[in-house]
Structure formats: structure tokens, C-alpha cells
Structure 1
Amino acid sequence: MGTRISLSIVHPEAENLLEKASHMLADYEARFSANNSKSALMMVNQQAGIQPVHVDSDLYDLIQFGKKYSLSSNLALNITIGPLVKLWKIGFTDAHVPEQKEIEEKLKLIDPTDIKLDADKRTVYLTKKGMELDLGALAKGYFADKLKSFFQNEGVQSGLVDLGGNVLTIGENPKYEDGYWRVGIQKPSPVRGDLVGVVLVKDKSVVTSGIYERSLKVDGKKYHHIFDSTTGYPIENELASVTIVSDESIDGELWTTLLFMFSPTAAIQYIDSIPGIEALIITKDNDVKMTRGIVPYVVLF
């Protein structure tokens, strides 16, 4: 999954459950990956413009969820972004700034209305050749929620699922009297573990996304991996990172993506109006902004 994974639970059969969880993750990665030519997702991409592809129910559900929010968010989230991601290749050794003509060609292939879903047959069809789905903006959250459900169904009452920037807590932390988990909030820096502070949570998800995670520098200009589907270039605004606290991890993934289309102030105001979702934003000037509900639970260093 391109990141460090850490799973920790309190349970008499912990080792056995953790082994099963690791097999679950390997299975998800094998089927949902946009970089594995033999994955189920890539089968859908390879048949773009040719024919519908029958997929497993979990993959179908995630694609359906992704299409819904790609359409309703005015492309702030866009699961058809694959051709653009693979054109720029930011985060890979051959990353480069494409020609404008190349970008314009790829923009024709990133329209989520061109995803045709058949619920009865459970098929996915991309109507244009060259289209590619990329579920990277949602998949880790989906996997984390599935792991939490698995652990809880097995009787786990305390644990931590950490999928590299995506942390999901189960119950209370047995190491602290107050029962809160301390989840670090990364500074907008490529150095892992360089924290601006911690957020205290119980039985919640904490997801952080930032422009520092993968970037490319060319002729003094820095390009990051979060794209604007209308221009084909990385989004340009004052946001450096977004952290979302929510009940479910997939909601955290969704909102860390959607908020990158807002200004810092507008993003906080918007999330303040949504029950059950809290946000902490760090600007490029290292200014920290928080929703009202999260303030008592954040300790800044």
C-alpha cells in the first residue's frame, strides 16, 4: 500500500487475529491496487472502452461510493483521476511536468459520468478507452473500517489501526488513565514523526493528508500530488495539510480530499456545520486552524 502499517490490539488471541488482519490487507491490496496490473481494479481499467467487468461486492461498493462523491463534490474528489496521476507520476522516480497538450488529452478521460455501474450484474464499465479508476483517495479508510469491524466482531475492545497517516482507534487506550489515544499531527514536512501536536481521541478515526507527502520540484517550483480535475495541475491554495477526526475512517479520507478545494477559513467554517466531523488545518504559513469541537482535544507542541 506504499506506506508503513501498524496494527495493535488487546486480546487473548491477538497474534492469530493480527495475522488474519494482515492477510485481509494483502487481499485488499491485491484486488484494489491501481499499480498492480493483475488486480481486479486494473481489470476494470484494462477493459475501458471495451466491455463491462464483473467485480466483487466490496470493490463495487467502493467504486459506487467514489462515483457518488466525485459527482456531488464538483470533482473535488475524482476517482477517474488515474490517467492524470500516471501522467505526472509524482511520488515515483520518473515524475515530471507534462506538456500542456498531454494534460489536455488526459482531462478528457477523467469524467466520473463515464463510469457505468450495473447493480444487478455488479459490473463496472468505463466508457472511454484510456480511462483509469484510482481509489487511492478512499481505499485506506475503507480498509481501516473493515479491519476495525473484523476486530470488534472478534471481541477486541481496545486497539489501533495505523495505515500510514490514517489512524483508527478501537475503544480506550489502556496505557493512559484517561483512556485517550494520543494521535500525532504531522508538521507539513516530509520528515515522519516531526509533529505539530497530538489529538486525543477514543474510538475515532484520525486521517491526515498533506501536500508534503509526495512532491516534485522543477525549476524552483514545487508540485504536489493532489490534483485539480479542472486544470490538470496540482491544486493551488493556502492549505498544507488537513486532519479530519470522525467515527469512520472513510469519512476522514473523503473530507481530507474535499477540503483541499477550500480556503483555510472556508474549510473550517464548512466542517463546523457538519455533525460528527472535526478538522484541523495547517496552512503553508504554518498557521493552525481548528473546528470548535476539536479544540479541547488538541495539544500543540
Structure 2
Amino acid sequence: MNIANEQVRLMGTVIDLQISHTNAQEILKETILDLKMYEKRFSANDPTSELMAVNTQAGIKRVKVNRELFELIKLGKEHSLAEGSLLNIAIGPLVQKWRIGFSDATVPNDETIKELLQTVNPKKILLNETEHSVYLEKGMLIDLGALAKGFIGDLVLGKLKQQGVRSALINLGGNILTLGTPPNKECWKIGIRTPGESRESYDYILKVKDKSIVTSGIYERVLKTKNKTYHHILSPITGYPMETETLSLTIVSDKSVDGEIWTTRLFGQTPAEIMNEINQHPEIEGILITKIKTYLSRYIKNYIN
């Protein structure tokens, strides 16, 4: 059994990969090529991506897309329309105006935000199941940034399983997927960072195997201007960064895209609302960290080291 490790920069983050297999190095190279392909398909920041082909044709014509992209847009629309959800894949116009995390980030004025809020209605994403096409009204932009890494991680992990890999770690920067256990160990140990502290400072260590861990927080990507700090998690209701007690929300699940969905759907709710929702879904567990208190879901202690 061979172990192959690689670190690459893709999807706007640093990605760490570890694969154990007799052909580990070859499989690792193929995995990196797959990640590059998926980035090209799902990116809202690459003008040549398949998603941007949909966005640039908004108000002009419907666009036929790859089945995987269609399924992700369909999934995103479904959860964008769920009652109480703060996930909205039609939020693209606001994301592109703020640009938080990029060198040209700016604070839009109130009038601009009011205008853009008229273009972020996910009901107006029109999907054709038969031909896998997507149509947007003029001015709309789909942004899959809240879902794409988890969806991509699940696709990559699924292929690794098909190739006979039984031990792997995929860290997509906030999205961690584990397959099996590390060589000669009983489980993977994944640190949940102390919000705002160094990357070596952890509040919890989780013991997992065959699980995904997704963490969303307001301390990584920020815009500082005129003595104010704006985080990157925008509210599709106000158009501004969410006002929230939450510093970070971690979801443990079988599928990484589920972790993405729930961290985004719940992030702007109150701690009580977030934990109540998590505890109603046995397929997920969570850790919610605020400035004054940490909240643990009903069975998360089964994973805490």
C-alpha cells in the first residue's frame, strides 16, 4: 500500500489530498485533473466556465448544461426555496458587486443594493429536465459558491471508491471529506478551529471515518474599510453581510454537499433556531460557536476526541 500526498491551489483555496492505494500517485494525479475540470464547470468567477455560460445568456436564451451542473443548480434551487432558508443560489449579483475576498472588493451604496435585490429571486431560475437547460431573466446571476465544493468533493470521493481506494482525505478548505481510516489508525482526527485564531488553534478535535466536516465562518474572508469590517456571508434578504451571533458553524454529515447546504441555510438564524433545526435531522450533527458560548448538537459528542 502506497500513500500519496499533494497540495494544490484551486477553487480560491488551498486543497490538501491524501490517498492510500497501490496506485496512489496515479490516482492522485487523476484526482487533481478532475478537480480542475469541476472548477472549470462550476465557477462563478471564471468567465469561461460552464456556469458563466448560463449567466452571460441571462435574458437571452436557455443554455444546455452538463448533467452534473444541472443537478447542482436544481439542488441549490430546491434548498433556496425551502421555508426559512438563507441559502440562495441566485445571490450572484450581490456577490459580484461586493466582491469580498477579492482585491477589488467594495461596499455598494443602499440604492444599488435595493436594485440588486430585485434580481435574486430563485423562483425565476427556470429548469428544463428533459434537455438539462437553464434560463435566467435579465440581470440574474447564479452563484454556486455555497454548494460547489461539497458537491465536487462528493463526486471525487465517489470516483475514488470506484477505483478501489479505501483510505483518503480530501480537504477543500473548510470542506473535509474522509474515506475509511488513515493507515494504521482507527480514525481521522479533524480540528475545529477557534474562530479568528491561528490555524493551529482548535476548540475541538473530531474523530471520524467516512464522514464529511464542513465549517462556515465569518472570520476568513473580510473587507475592512473606513473603520468597518464586512464578512463575506451575505444575506439574500438585506443584501448586506448577515448580522449574526454565529462566528462559525460546523456540520458533520455523510455527504459534503449536505454540510454545505445546512451551514448556509442556517447561518443567519439565532443559535436556538440553528440547534433546534440540526437536532431534527438525524443525518447531521453540528457545532455552533458564538462570541460567548458554544452549542453542541444532540449526538456530536460521539465524535469529539
TM norm structure 2: 0.94
Does the 8 Å CA contact 1:47/1:126 hold for their aligned counterparts? Answer: yes
Q: Name the residue aligned to 1:238.
A: 245
Q: Name the residue aligned to 2:298.
A: 292
Aligned-pair CA distance for 1:198: 1.1
Q: Name the residue aligned to 1:267.
A: 274
Alignment partner of 1:201 out of 208, 231, 235 = 208
Aligned-pair CA distance for 1:297: 2.1
Does the 8 Å CA contact 1:73/1:258 hold for their aligned counterparts? Answer: no
Alignment of 1:70-109 (within 5 A): 70-109=80-119
Aligned-pair CA distance for 1:195: 2.0
Q: Where in structure 2 are there 5+ consecutive unaligned residues?
A: 1-10
Q: Does 1:277 align with 2:284?
A: yes
Alignment of 1:222-233 (within 5 A): 222-233=229-240
- Encode CA deviations 1:172-231: one digit per residue, 9 max, x unaligned: 22242xx11101111211643332221111110000010012111233332111111111
CA–CA distance in 1 between the matches of 2:83 and 2:216? 18
Does the 8 Å CA contact 2:85/2:266 hold for their aligned counterparts? Answer: no
- Encode CA deviations 1:263-291: one digit per residue, 9 max, x unaligned: 11221122112111000011033x22111
Aligned-pair CA distance for 1:156: 0.8
Q: Does 1:29 align with 2:46?
A: no
Q: Name the residue aligned to 2:227.
A: 220
CA–CA distance in 2 between the matches of 1:91 and 1:166? 18
Letter in 1 for 2:226: D
CA–CA distance in 2 between the matches of 1:251 and 1:206? 10
Alignment of 1:29-178 (within 5 A): 29-127=39-137, 129-176=138-185
Identify if the C-alpha distance between structure 1 residues 73 and 188 changes in structure 2 by more than 3 Å, giving closer, same or farther.
Answer: farther
TM norm structure 1: 0.95
SS at match of 1:188: coil
CA–CA distance in 1 between the matches of 2:234 and 2:148? 17
Deviates more, 1:256-265 or 1:197-206: 256-265
Letter in 2 for 1:162: N
Does the 8 Å CA contact 1:190/1:213 hold for their aligned counterparts? Answer: no
Aligned-residue CA RMSD in angstroms? 1.3
Deviates more, 1:263-272 or 1:151-160: 263-272
SS at match of 2:21: coil
Does the 8 Å CA contact 1:190/1:212 hold for their aligned counterparts? Answer: no
- Encode CA deviations 1:212-259: one digit per residue, 9 max, x unaligned: 121112333321111111110111020000000000000001111112
CA–CA distance in 2 between the matches of 1:72 and 1:58? 21
Alignment partner of 1:15 out of 16, 21, 25 = 25
Letter in 2 for 1:25: L
Does the 8 Å CA contact 2:120/2:140 hold for their aligned counterparts? Answer: yes
Identify if the C-alpha distance between structure 1 residues 75 and 110 changes in structure 2 by more than 3 Å, giving closer, same or farther.
Answer: farther
Aligned length, in residue pairs: 295
Aligned-pair CA distance for 1:73: 4.1
- Encode CA deviations 1:101-124: one digit per residue, 9 max, x unaligned: 010111011000110001111110
Does the 8 Å CA contact 2:246/2:268 hold for their aligned counterparts? Answer: no
Q: Does 1:2 align with 2:12?
A: yes
4+ runs deviating over 6 angstroms: none
Does the 8 Å CA contact 1:90/1:214 hold for their aligned counterparts? Answer: yes
